[in-house]
Structure 1
């Protein structure tokens, strides 16, 4: 045999002998590898826990802020919804009142048709106010009158009730005034 073949056979024999571990040695090696893996994973989990302690508060604050913004969007969406009533006024009315939130309320089952207007008084007032409904063609389609008494710098919701035959869903805008 050549020297080259003898060297290869010797190397292979050595590798084979050293790689053949007994069953007990294999179990010990597997246990050591398992312990190492558990140690690594537990350190990862501990690191994640430590990160949550320090950064978790900031993450929750950020999530809460995001939820708050979503609710703001919800209320903005409500304000732009079909139930919002577009209420206009003339300059005389605007000197007396500031118009706040408005809402159209209609129900076929209870035959309730009304527009709620939140008014803030710039001065005391004790008279009737009128709300007229107009369609897209600028034709009046209904009206409602209410007598109110309010002190300066006070506010109240006023429900203007409309006749059941008023097509309130077709109302494009409303004009509020006082005599």
Structure 2
């Protein structure tokens, strides 16, 4: 498999996709207190808000809780996820290109990406960190190949530069010994 094959990999084709833990999901009617307790227990930074059939309607992050609940002085036990969730979210399909989403997340500055199947049901949540760790070996391989190609393409230039440097060192030695 070449670097370009790795760079065009679908999200579901990554070995890590199958081993990602199930996303933490709640309905809109759940209280923020319930969601935060589950987030704390599992060490998650967000919950995905879904319909009964698993289709995604929004996400609630730690930042949403801080801004829309704590800062607003609301009660977590009586405030529902529907009141604090982010509704306009980006959702990836399992068949989408991995690197495309890494670029989108970086450019649009969001860190969590729900991944859904063909019916729109939640399958996983990828973070920006997941994408970077999954593509890091591929990016390193590509950088190595580009460096190798650049050196080969500019071989004559490297010979001239190396020759000039060798001549300069030789001259310093000869002049210094006089």
TM-score, length-scaled by structure 2: 0.27
More strand by share: 1
Larger radius of gyration: 1
TM-score with structure 1 setting the length: 0.27
The structure in which a higher percent of residues are helix is: 2
